[in-house]
Amino acid sequence: MLPDDVAPRSETSHHSAPQVTLPPLDTDVAVLTAALVDIHSVSDQETPLADAVESALRALPRLEVTRIGDTVVARTQFGLDSRVVLAGHLDTVPLPTVEGAKGTVPSRWEPSADVGNLPADEAVLYGRGTTDMKGGVAVQLALAGLIGAEGGPQTERDVTWVFYDHEEVDAERSGLLRVAREARDLLEGDFAVLLEPTDGVVEGGCNGTSRYVVTVPGVAAHSGRAWRGVNAIHGAAPLLTALAAYQPATVTVEGLDYREGLNAVRIHGGTAGNVIPDTTAVEINYRFAPDKTLDQAHAHVLGVLAEAGFSGDAVQIVDGSPAARPGLDRPAAAAFVQAVGGEPMPKFGWTDVARFSELGVPAVNFGPGDALLAHTDDEHVTAGAVRTCLRAMQDWLLPDSPR
């Protein structure tokens, strides 16, 4: 049974009519990317885009559509022997604050495309989310429009599309996590592709990530009588020295080399320019390979900190997300790699493939755009990168269909 706030396809959605609409889903996928970017969707403001996606998908007669909050799930129900999941998030990080930044909203083409003319493959689309990850979402929608339309091509596998909210913020707010809690069956599948930017290369699994805060105590005093206090910032020196000397491992998992990292990422301390600080907090991030569980990652970091002299109440585990093994030895994953080509690589950052892995669904990252451009002031993607990704996905899902 679906939860109360889930609208099945046969019912009228409880959400208001969309204020914005998308172009037809058979529009050139690069143009569709620009249209997605132009709908402002910073985290917490995804509703207009979710409305537009829901409206476009509900118009496709061969799809069953469900909405949970601002996450939209569409599925074929062809009764085939296997099911694949194509997932992507709708939200973006906040817009650039630097004057003149290109990676903002609305989008822009360089060189500019005349009305009615399609941008050339080498044309560059600038805008927030072009890389992370409106290009991937456009590929999802283009495939849904093709497969879900009346008289659309027959796939070899049933397909589920997931368009979810709140990926760029705290994990507990993730729309994907909410669906996993409330309607887990919607995410079932034999294999999943997360269309995060990978420059068109299959990236298997992902590193895990965990955060810690180490509190260093001191004694406040007037800086003119510093000998009467204990400087907490100075007290953090052994910790920072240990982190600077730490040698991160490179771990091979199923043939892919994952690089780890343990770093101080933020430090807080001090109250005024004439006061010896009585406390300092150092925030630490650990990126760990998928040979470790989250508990093993915590144990490793706590051991490193203990050797530096910090343990017990001085160390707080703030959060953690598990790693995901590549799963490239699974038949569905091997078939995907063969269809799209290229040499698989490891994913060093954390992505939601880890959530699918926890659900027992092997998953990879594969999408258009350079991940190094995500969240930058000049975030961009080329028209050709998005089109190439779509063709690769069609080669996998619809190998016998004409292009």
Judged against a pLDDT cut of 60, whether residue 267 lies above it is answered with yes
Judged against a pLDDT cut of 50, whether residue 1 lies above it is answered with no
β-strands 256-259, 250-253 pairing: antiparallel
Q: Give me the active site residues, please.
A: 91, 167
Question: Which residues touch 358 (CB under 8 Å, ≥6 apart)?
Answer: 322
Judged against a pLDDT cut of 70, whether residue 402 lies above it is answered with no
Judged against a pLDDT cut of 50, whether residue 296 lies above it is answered with yes
User: Going along 44-157, which residue ranges are E strands?
Assistant: 64-68, 71-75, 83-89, 108-110, 124-126
Return the pLDDT at 341.
87
Mean pLDDT calculated for residue range 250-275: 96
Judged against a pLDDT cut of 70, whether residue 115 lies above it is answered with no
Strand partners, 89: 164
- DSSP code of 207? -
Going by C-alpha positions, the residue among 331, 182, 199, 323 that lies closest to residue 253 is: 323
User: Going along 247-365, which residue ranges are E strands?
Assistant: 250-253, 256-259, 261-269, 275-276, 279-288, 315-321, 345-346, 363-365
pLDDT bracket for residue 8 (50, 70, 90): very low
Judged against a pLDDT cut of 50, whether residue 6 lies above it is answered with no
Tell me the Cα Rg of the chain: 24
Going by C-alpha positions, the residue among 397, 383, 399, 395 that lies closest to residue 27 is: 383
Judged against a pLDDT cut of 80, whether residue 403 lies above it is answered with no
Return the pLDDT at 114.
66
Return the pLDDT at 399.
84
What's the mean pLDDT when you consider all of the chain? 92
Return the pLDDT at 27.
96
**% of the chain surpassing 90 pLDDT:** 83
Return the pLDDT at 13.
40
Mean pLDDT calculated for residue range 383-399: 95
Residue scoring higher pLDDT (15 or 180): 180
Judged against a pLDDT cut of 60, whether residue 18 lies above it is answered with no
- Alpha-carbon span 363 to 192, nearest angstrom: 4
Judged against a pLDDT cut of 50, whether residue 346 lies above it is answered with yes
β-strands 345-346, 203-204 pairing: parallel
Judged against a pLDDT cut of 50, whether residue 351 lies above it is answered with yes
Mean pLDDT calculated for residue range 337-364: 90
Among 180-194, 211-225, 388-402, whose mean pLDDT is lowest? 388-402
Judged against a pLDDT cut of 50, whether residue 210 lies above it is answered with yes
pLDDT bracket for residue 327 (50, 70, 90): confident
- Alpha-carbon span 11 to 9, nearest angstrom: 5
For residue 351, the Cα-to-chain-centroid distance in whole angstroms is 5
Judged against a pLDDT cut of 50, whether residue 17 lies above it is answered with no
Token code pair at residue 173: 């707010």
pTM (predicted TM-score): 0.84
Domain with CATH 3.30.70.360 in the chain: 208-321
Among 1-5, 117-121, 158-162, whose mean pLDDT is lowest? 1-5
- By CB atoms closer than 10 A (0-12, 13-18, 19+), residue 272 is exposed
Residue scoring higher pLDDT (17 or 365): 365
Judged against a pLDDT cut of 60, whether residue 10 lies above it is answered with no
User: Going along 19-121, which residue ranges are E strands?
Assistant: 64-68, 71-75, 83-89, 108-110
The secondary structure of 217-268 as a DSSP string is: E-B-EEGGGGGGSB-HHHHTHHHHHHHHH----EEEETTEEEE-EEEEEEEE
Q: Half-sphere exposure (CA, 13 Å, Cβ side) for 80?
A: 17
Mean pLDDT calculated for residue range 151-166: 95
Domain with CATH 3.40.630.10 in the chain: 6-205+324-397
Judged against a pLDDT cut of 50, whether residue 243 lies above it is answered with yes
Instruction: Give the class (CATH, top level) of 208-321.
Output: alpha beta
- Alpha-carbon span 25 to 35, nearest angstrom: 11
Judged against a pLDDT cut of 50, whether residue 173 lies above it is answered with yes
Judged against a pLDDT cut of 80, whether residue 5 lies above it is answered with no
Among 48-57, 332-341, 394-403, whose mean pLDDT is lowest? 394-403
> Which CATH number applies to 6-205+324-397: 3.40.630.10, 1.10.150.20, 2.60.40.10, 3.40.50.11540?
3.40.630.10
Contact 180, 355 (CB under 8 A): yes
Distances (CA, A) of 283 to 169, 236, 280, 316, 364: 18, 11, 10, 9, 30
Token code pair at residue 305: 């900190």
For residue 278, the Cα-to-chain-centroid distance in whole angstroms is 39
Start-to-end Cα distance in the chain = 40
Token code pair at residue 364: 């990879």
pLDDT bracket for residue 395 (50, 70, 90): very high
